[in-house]
Amino acid sequence: MWQKSTTGNNISYAYNPVPYDIFFSLYIGVKNVEDGTNIIEQIVPYFTPEWTATLNLVNDPNFTKKYDTPIIIQNIACEDNYEAGNFTQRRALIWTINFVLKGYFFGPIHESGLIKQIYVNFEIPTTNTAAEGIRITPVSEQIYIQPGETANGQPTSNASLSIPPNEINVTDNWAYVAKLISKIDNPDE
């Protein structure tokens, strides 16, 4: 997942792009062989057998990552549909160059609220509950994490000096406040 932008209490994000091989063809219709070879000689030297373009594939100023996108020549063929001896039919030479583009497809951009408070419970199973297959064990310790910022906008890791987490924006200058709560010492908390 990669991030787009953060504003206020929301964050916009998109999942990583999916690589795809995109096949396409270029058709060149000419009257005579010399015109066709002149056009082919103008195109082919740039491909050895690939040409790589560095592209900004998402049309959004917040996504600035550029991708190297190779375009590879698969083959070149010439088709002459003129039948000898038939003077009523016009001669047409069609040169076909088949390419593969090593491109990407992007999913939609999502927006969601930012997580500002986290509780992590640590459980230490006893030998009796583990042997009996009982999955309910008491919480041993709990860690509480939130952003911390003083009323004058300075980052703090002291919970008593911090304003409430819902008043802190993602773009503010804040630090992490972590509090360890031991349930072994205080089982009723």
Same domain, residue pair 131 and 88: no
d(CA 166, CA 179): 18
Tokens, residue 26: 């270029």
8: left (phi over 0), alpha (psi -120 to 50) or beta: left
Domain boundary among 80, 110, 140: 110
Length of the chain measured in residues: 189
**Residue 21 included in any domain:** yes
**Residue 189 included in any domain:** no
Same domain, residue pair 21 and 70: yes
Give the pLDDT score at 90.
72
Split at pLDDT 50, 70, 90, the class of 75 is: very high
**Residue 187 included in any domain:** no
Domain boundary among 66, 85, 110: 110
Same domain, residue pair 140 and 99: no
Q: Write out pLDDT tens, residues 4-35.
A: 555 666 777 778 889 999 999 999 998 888 99
Same domain, residue pair 25 and 79: yes
Residues paired with residue 144 on neighbouring β-strands, in sequence order = 119, 179
Same domain, residue pair 84 and 14: yes
Domain boundary among 94, 110, 126: 110
Number of domains in the chain: 2
End-to-end CA distance of the chain: 36
For the cut 70, the answer to whether the pLDDT of residue 110 exceeds it is yes
Domain that holds residue 154: 116-182
Contact 93/33 with Cβ under 8 angstroms?
yes
**Residue 11 included in any domain:** yes
Same domain, residue pair 44 and 123: no
Same domain, residue pair 106 and 153: no
**Residue 188 included in any domain:** no
